Amino acid sequence: MSQLEELKAAIRGHLDSLDCVIGWEQGYDPLHATPLFIRNESDLERLSISPLAVHNPATYATGFAGKKIGMVVRGCHSRSIIELLNEKLIERENVVLFGLCCDGVVSQRKIRTALPADPGFVEAVEIGDDALHITLAGEKTTIKLQDVLADKCRICAYPDPLLADVLIGNKHDSRPEETLACQEAFEAKPNAEKFTFWQDTMSRCIRCYACRNVCPMCVCQDYCIAASRDPLWMSQENSPAENFMFQMIHVSHLTGRCTECGECERACPVDIPLMLLRRYMNKQVQEVFGHQAGTSLDKTPPLLTFQVEEARIKERDW
Amino acid sequence: MERFITEANLQQFAATLAGKKHVLAPVASGGTTCFRRLVPGMRLDFSRMAVISPKDATFPRNETLLLVQRYVEESGKKLELKEQLPEGECIVIGSRPCGARGKLIFDPVYETEAIKDPYYLRRRDNTLFITLSCDRPESTCFCHSVGSNPADGTGSDVLLTAVEGGFFARAITPKGEELLADALFEEAGTRAEEAAAKQTKARELMGQAHDFSSAAAKLLERFDDMGFWQAQSNKCISCGACTYMCPTCYCFNITDDEAGLVSRRLRSWDNCMSHTFTLEGSGHNPRGTKAHRLKNRVGHKFSYYPDLHASQIACCGCGRCIKQCPAGVDIRQVVMAAQEYVDER
Amino acid sequence: MRIGVFICHCGSNIAGTVDCESVAELASGFPEVVYSTDSMYTCSEPGQEGIITAIHEQKLDGVVVASCTPRMHEPTFRRAVERAGLNRYMFEMANIREHVSWIGKDKEHNTNKAADLVLMAVEKLRRNRPLVPKSFETIKRVLVIGGGVAGIQAALDCADGGLDVVMVERDQSIGGKMAKLDKTFPTIDCSSCVLGPKMVDIAQHEKITLHTCAEIEAVSGYVGNFSVTIRRRATYVDWTKCTGCGVCTEKCPSKRSPDVFNEFMGTTTAINIPFPQAIPKKAAINPATCTMIQKGKCGVCAKVCPVGCIDYEQQDELINVDVGAIVVATGYDLFDWHKYPQYGEGRYPDVITSLQYERLLSASGPTGGHIKRPSDGKEPKNVVFIQCVGSRDRSVDRPYCSGFCCMYTAKQAILTKDHIPDSQSYVFYMDIRAPGKGYDEFTRRAMEEYGAQYVRGRVAMIYPHGEQLMVRGADTLAGTQVEVPADLVVLATGVEAAQGAVKLGETLRVVPDQYGFFVESHPKLKPVETNTAGVYLAGACQGPKDIPTSVGQGSAAAAKALGLLSKERLESDPAVSKVNLSRCVGCQKCIGTCPFGAIKAITDRQGKLKAEVIETVCQGCGICTVTCPQGAIQLEHFTDNQILAEVNALCPPKMNASFE
Amino acid sequence: MPAQDERELRIVGFLCNWCSYGGADTAGVARFTQPTDLRIIRVPCSGRIDPLFVVRALLNGADGVLVSGCHPRDCHYAEGNFYARRRLEMLKRFLPITGIDERRFEYTWVSASEGQRWQHVVTEFTRRIHELGPAQSFNPATQEEWFNLALNEASKGEACACHGS
């Protein structure tokens, strides 16, 4: 039985007791997937778990407060769920997790840039073991999966769900923590270059808040201080400084809570590499608090607690 | 007037214009193509449809309506208040027909008997569009279903069509003719036919248009059916990507900023998918859930606006909202679901 | 709003380096400022009247005063605006004295800075709103920590004033350092005769509950409603039965216990009553030296005790008590003089501390009141006193003056002559500090009537010289080196904060200074208050003090506690956190970070979880406001908007007229 | 002492009421001369200082931001500075990725009795900020700056090799 069929069978067994199960299906064309909310057998038939199925179902978890739902989760998604549980934002008995041992998902941005221009109509996509075969205007283009794998998947240390009620697929051997060369290269740049980079990049931001709303850990959403007039943290001015202020709010509120699912960067319509900020902050959190959000149950986010003697905070003397 | 311009000359034409005027054009930066103010030295990127529409030209994301400065003089305290009406001409190069045509949706709202928005009108009247017709329509494109086509010149001053070695240019307005008088444009020769063939092919690629004519009434029928809207909005994350990207969304917010001795009244884009859009002072929100908000967005474009304005659908079919939606919400599917809805009871 | 701005000259304190007129003129252009003026002394009667008149005449609904630090006169001006009918929170201060005029002389920069601070205050004030305090009941009981003379005085005054008092003493008996003294200066009256009756009063007062061998374990709550946990150490004697007969101490075979009360001038028994006048007069076992407890062998005291009160199994006991106010009177300890190499670092038994000398002088001391030197029990003829041992000395990090050593040294010189008429005293001193009533006369008597030789200079070394010690020092007045043979050397050991003061400070949220003495609210105007409301200081825990000053401060602290608890209800500071229920998403993060348990979860009418602040418990720190990501819980008077307005006033964002 | 060079820079201080604000008062009472650049915002506790206040000030154009609270263990509210320490440390560590020089932000502890220490902290921090010079505005201040920004090499290049290529 294929993994998909195995998964369908597992979901089928739970469907009656759940409000819905969140998975994926094909989106507006064969190259794009979209979240699927499975409520009945015909919904279930449309389920897809290809590497195109990228969305983090944990994004929707808090929206179903009080209802019991199922979610198909990859490794990174399960971290989001664990962090939500740790912060008591969802309840364990209200979620059934169908875990997928994951070999990585694609980056649509990379697919797009792998093609010389807008692709036009996508007629068909065939997913091989290590490549995507895309049919455009009758012509087949092949892209290696490895070349369009999302950044987070290239360095993923947790491909298998850390929490699941049903586990589908073969578990991976444990993987070392890795860093992205591009991340390191950016971090190593001089301040002036980084500053200019963010100035320019932030001038592209339209403050649509897709990064915020897609973030599974952003639970304020409707009450985000970026959009409120009381408290009034930000002007509605769409300028680099104000846009960056919002990103700083997001980073600040995610300190020690970000599970690195990469949804913010994926959702950004103008391709702002937000994960540069996330990964850097997470690295600091790891260094100072030895904490990685969503990797184990019953951990308090580091900024919500303290130690009288902080072993790894060296206070600067004067 | 029909002319031809080579790709290199078009780049130069744009650069020269940019030295003199405010030019908005699609530019690739940081891996994405956006309209931004062209600075001599930048290159136009025609390979992709710009992520954000050229709406900024006529309806900028930010607009200072007035500035207030406080100061003290010998004679006592002073307060200076300056209205900031937009000045200067703007030229958009490389908009697509959908984007250029989309701005027409604004007119019935901002120029009525009762209300004339001076900021909008000044910008509209001082902006020229040099539009590029589409030759590779995408899976998300549906301009043909909302009364347009990939070579629609409506709302544009010049329409460019890519032909061998450059672009065939056709002036649509007298101002467009003035632009084409530039020496960089050459005789069109036989390129008119080549362009026409390209345009026809592009239209054919789009296939059968969907008939949205029943949408207005069908959407109204579903107005009170919140179950329908909840199902449709399941995956929506209630962000503003769709509205900010949309060439036809014209909602704005006005906020006053003040800091110390300076204050400012700012007009900025607003977003009906946001909770705060309809949040009332009392704390009550008539559109408290994303289902309410999606209903409004779709309803407004395909039902309420057409009802008020000669059946004109407030959507230009550019597909940006579909393509850029982080959750893959497809407005076509939502409208069709309402059109095809069968009451099972 | 209609805001009035008042720029204070503070005489020349501010006006000397700030152009107050131009600050006032600039301020007249600030948003919503309708009245702006400068005045000589804004805090004075006419200054305050000026504010009140302006409020009435200009119909002001907010006032900014630019003057000294708000930590000084904010309450004064708040009362003034209240007298004029405004809410006291519709007032802001700009600190242009401590933070401007006093720290720089550049008038132009100072004036600009003052104007900035005023603008900041105006911008904050525009976002203030009237706040009304809530009232709550108080517990009419006072905790006194420390049973020395300051604590005794505070406890008796509180109890006489009608309050219940709980006294906690770390040692076995109350009495503190004073109980160890023989006589007191400048009257040479018997210390225990003066203190004894007061100690008895403590034991007998029906309003006073005494816990000795006890320390403070934990304190929670807030002014008027503290909840205190006291740890009472096991004494292995049931004090409800012990009559203090002393049979056990006579029979105890373990006679090598260190005699703490006698400053280790000898040994005592493992079970003992520290001194005859001890209160409570109960025996206690030193578990470190009791062979029964250490080795399970002996049990003599249990056998001889006529009432059967010995309990070798006794455990520490935790006692909980609720109090409305706390008086801290933990006193001092002596500086460890062994740090000084020149005094022999403890190699010479005849170098002792002044307090040990007191025990030698005392009739109830180890020598029965006869001065016998420790080495051979001989009566010393030449006694050398060295002052400032651990005082006024940066090299041992004790730069402060311990205050009363000059006086007790003079007293001890006089008493030496009284005890041994043919003796000669020498005093090495730096300066004589004798500013109290009758004090200087007293030191003169020591020199003139009792012939004590005062040598102005420091001692360089002490070395053995036959049976004697040779004290070598400088006589800075004569400009020579002197050597004095001594039979006994008494060190006027300086005062330092009591052991454990820093830890107690953490428990009480009272800050110790760098030497461990507790910091008072204001060095002049609030000498017994602390920054924690309802916690007061008495005696040497705040800094070195002699007996009359300690007693006076004990009474002062009692007066503060009595004054506080004389009100039926107290008003809580309304500058506490408040939840905007419509913004709260019920994530409960604030509940987790509140140090006071002042936030609880509630369910609103739609069944949604929300946070709610218990106003009287909230202390107004604002940790929750930063914890809350959506800004739903705001600390009143220090809201995000108010602080952001100050930030924006100081560094205004560029208001672009046009964009890219 | 005037500012260390002729021009004053904009330094914002956030001080807790009980310790550091008192320490600054103590310094004033003792007439400990300090540079004039710093302007102090009084808050009840360092636990009230949202790191985002610091960010707001920096993005508004502050040349430096100094935060000071009670020494650890001495917090008037028992725990405020423990939270503050974690929050502010993370901010300080985060700043380098933004290109904002993290030396423009500092946090420290000064008690109410440490007037001299306060003088030292202010003097040293002000000196540091003057060495760094005026901060660059995050929003380009002029049209020309906008243009230069748009043309800047950094903005043309990709964010990183794996991002979008």
B16-41 pLDDT, tens digit each: 999 899 999 999 887 789 998 998 88
Whether C465 and C341 map to the same domain: the answer is: yes
Whole-number Å distance between alpha carbons of C603 and A66: 14
Work out the average pLDDT over A257-281: 96
Work out the average pLDDT over C427-435: 95
List the helix and strand counts (H, then E) for chain C: 17, 34
Decide if C309 is inside a domain: no
> Chain A contacts of C610, Cβ < 8 Å?
none
Return the percentage of chain B with pLDDT > 90, whole number. Answer: 85
| Integer CA distances (angstroms), B334 to B234, B247, B291, C432, C481, in order | 12, 19, 12, 95, 105
Whether C382 and C422 map to the same domain: the answer is: yes
Taking a C-beta distance cutoff of 8 angstroms, is the pair C199, C279 a contact? yes
SS3 content of chain A, % helix, strand, coil (to 5): 40, 15, 45
Tell me the angle at which helices C149-160 and C547-565 cross, rounded to the nearest 10 degrees: 30
pLDDT of residue C511: 79
Taking a C-beta distance cutoff of 8 angstroms, is the pair D51, D102 a contact? no
The torsion region of residue B303 among left (phi > 0), alpha (psi -120 to 50) and beta comes to alpha
The phi and psi torsions of C322 (rounded to 5 degrees) equal -100, 130
Compute the Cα dihedral for D26, D28, D33, D37 and give only its sign: positive
Work out the average pLDDT over C10-20: 96
Alpha-carbon distance D152 to nearest alpha carbon in chain B (angstroms): 10
Residue C626's CATH number: 3.30.70.3270
Dihedral angle over CA of C543, C545, C547, C551, nearest 10: -50
Residue D1 binned pLDDT confidence (cut-offs 50, 70, 90): very low
- pLDDT over threshold 80, residue C657: no
The DSSP result for C93-130, as a single string, is EEE-IIIIITT---HHHHHHHHHHHHHHHHHHHTT---
Residue window 554-583, chain C: list those with CB within 8 Å of chain D.
575
- Find the CB nearest C659 among B62, B67, B76: B62
> Chain A contacts of D97, Cβ < 8 Å?
186-187, 194, 276-277, 280-281
- pLDDT over threshold 80, residue C192: yes
> Chain B contacts of C658, Cβ < 8 Å?
64, 84
First-last CA distance in chain D? 55
**Chain B residues within 8 A (CB-CB) of chain C?**
36-37, 60-62, 64, 67, 70-72, 76-78, 82, 84, 257-264, 283
Whether C86 and C211 map to the same domain: the answer is: no
Alpha-carbon distance D155 to nearest alpha carbon in chain B (angstroms): 7
Q: What angle do CA C228, C233, C237 make, to 5 degrees?
A: 130
- pLDDT over threshold 80, residue D152: no
Contact with chain B for residue D163, Cβ under 8 A: yes
Work out the average pLDDT over B294-315: 97
Work out the average pLDDT over B42-55: 92
pLDDT of residue D161: 46
Q: What is the ipTM for the molecules in this complex?
A: 0.95
- In the sheet with C225-232, reading across from the earlier edge strand, the strands are C214-222, C225-232, C317-323
- Amino acid code (one letter) for C263: E
Whether C192 and C152 map to the same domain: the answer is: yes
CB contact under 8 A, D156 and B29: yes
Q: Which residues contact C404 (CB under 8 A, 6 or more apart)?
A: C495, C544, C545, C546
pLDDT of residue A65: 86
Q: Which residues contact A81 (CB under 8 A, 6 or more apart)?
A: A58, A61, A71, A73, A90, A95, A97, A163, A294
Alpha-carbon distance B320 to nearest alpha carbon in chain D (angstroms): 19
Contact with chain B for residue D161, Cβ under 8 A: no
pLDDT of residue B18: 92
Decide if C647 is inside a domain: no
- pLDDT over threshold 90, residue C616: no
CA C92 to chain CA centroid, nearest Å = 30
- Evaluate the omega torsion of the peptide bond into residue C280 and state whether it is cis, within 30 degrees of 0: yes
Instruction: Name the nearest CA neighbour of C615 among C92, C91, C218, C131.
Output: C131
Please name the residue ranges forming H helices in chain D. 20-29, 51-60, 80-98, 115-132, 143-151, 153-156
Q: D107, exposed or middle or buried, with CB in 10 Å at 0-12, 13-18, 19+?
A: buried
Residue A316 binned pLDDT confidence (cut-offs 50, 70, 90): confident
Q: What is the CATH number of domain D11-139?
A: 3.40.50
Alpha-carbon distance B256 to nearest alpha carbon in chain D (angstroms): 17
Closest-approach residue (CA) in chain A for D106: A316
Whether C605 and C553 map to the same domain: the answer is: no
Taking a C-beta distance cutoff of 8 angstroms, is the pair C178, C547 a contact? yes
Decide if C537 is inside a domain: yes
The torsion region of residue C278 among left (phi > 0), alpha (psi -120 to 50) and beta comes to beta
Alpha-carbon distance A241 to nearest alpha carbon in chain C (angstroms): 9
Q: What angle do CA C206, C209, C212 make, to 5 degrees?
A: 140
Whole-number Å distance between alpha carbons of C469 and C422: 19
Whether C156 and C223 map to the same domain: the answer is: yes
Decide if C653 is inside a domain: no
Query: Which of B235, B236, B268, B294 is the mutation pick for testing A, counting most A CBs within 10 A?
Result: B235
Question: Which is more confident, C40 or A116?
Answer: C40
Contact with chain D for residue B88, Cβ under 8 A: no
Q: What angle do CA B66, B71, B75 make, to 5 degrees?
A: 125
Contact with chain A for residue C603, Cβ under 8 A: no
Residue C339's CATH number: 3.50.50.60
Whole-number Å distance between alpha carbons of A23 and A71: 6
- Evaluate the omega torsion of the peptide bond into residue C186 and state whether it is cis, within 30 degrees of 0: yes
Half-sphere exposure for D75 (CA within 13 Å, toward CB): 25
pTM over 0.90: no
Number of domains chain C contains: 5
Convert the pLDDT of each residue in C145-161 to its tens digit.
999 999 999 999 999 99
Return the percentage of chain A with pLDDT > 70, whole number. Answer: 100
Work out the average pLDDT over A256-269: 96
Closest-approach residue (CA) in chain D for C652: D60
First-last CA distance in chain A? 67
Convert the pLDDT of each residue in A27-83 to its tens digit.
999 999 999 999 999 999 999 999 999 999 999 999 998 899 999 999 999 999 999
Contact with chain C for residue D73, Cβ under 8 A: yes
Residue whose tokens read 């005696």: C539
Half-sphere exposure for B164 (CA within 13 Å, toward CB): 7
Whole-number Å distance between alpha carbons of C353 and D127: 49
Stated length of chain A:
318
Convert the pLDDT of each residue in D55-83 to its tens digit.
999 999 999 999 999 999 888 888 999 99
Convert the pLDDT of each residue in C545-566 to its tens digit.
999 999 999 999 999 999 999 9
The total of other beta-carbon atoms located within 10 Å of residue C431's CB is 11
- pLDDT over threshold 80, residue B75: no
pLDDT of residue B79: 86
pLDDT of residue B74: 76
Half-sphere exposure for C576 (CA within 13 Å, toward CB): 19
Whole-number Å distance between alpha carbons of C249 and A60: 76
Whole-number Å distance between alpha carbons of A15 and A11: 6
Please tell me what DSSP assigns to residue C653: P
Whole-number Å distance between alpha carbons of D52 and D95: 12
Alpha-carbon distance D154 to nearest alpha carbon in chain B (angstroms): 9
Return the percentage of chain A with pLDDT > 90, whole number. Answer: 87
Whether C484 and C504 map to the same domain: the answer is: no
pLDDT of residue D2: 37
Whether C294 and C423 map to the same domain: the answer is: no
Task: Find the domain containing C617 and state its range.
Answer: 577-636
Whole-number Å distance between alpha carbons of C229 and C215: 9
Whether C200 and C272 map to the same domain: the answer is: no
Closest-approach residue (CA) in chain B for A214: B237
Convert the pLDDT of each residue in B95-137 to its tens digit.
999 999 999 999 999 999 999 999 999 999 999 999 999 998 9
Taking a C-beta distance cutoff of 8 angstroms, is the pair C226, C304 a contact? no
CA A292 to chain CA centroid, nearest Å = 15
Residue whose tokens read 């030197």: C373
Instruction: Name the nearest CA neighbour of D15 among D114, D133, D91.
Output: D114
Residue D4 binned pLDDT confidence (cut-offs 50, 70, 90): very low
Convert the pLDDT of each residue in C506-533 to its tens digit.
889 887 888 999 988 877 888 999 888 8
Question: Which is more confident, C658 or C138?
Answer: C138
pLDDT of residue C658: 60
Whether C615 and C473 map to the same domain: the answer is: no
CB contact under 8 A, C655 and B259: yes
- pLDDT over threshold 70, residue D154: no
- pLDDT over threshold 60, residue D157: no
- pLDDT over threshold 60, residue D158: no
Q: Which residues contact C508 (CB under 8 A, 6 or more apart)?
A: C216, C219, C326, C328, C530, C532, C535
Whether C167 and C121 map to the same domain: the answer is: no
Convert the pLDDT of each residue in C202-249 to its tens digit.
999 999 999 999 999 999 888 899 999 999 999 999 999 999 999 999
- pLDDT over threshold 60, residue C65: yes
pLDDT of residue D3: 41
The torsion region of residue B275 among left (phi > 0), alpha (psi -120 to 50) and beta comes to alpha
Convert the pLDDT of each residue in C562-591 to its tens digit.
999 999 899 888 999 999 999 999 999 999
Residue D156 binned pLDDT confidence (cut-offs 50, 70, 90): low
pLDDT of residue D164: 41
pLDDT of residue A118: 85
Q: Which residues contact C585 (CB under 8 A, 6 or more apart)?
A: A219, A220, A223, C630, C632
Whether C116 and C200 map to the same domain: the answer is: no
Which helix (H) or strand (E) covers residue C321, if one does? strand C317-323
- pLDDT over threshold 70, residue B318: yes
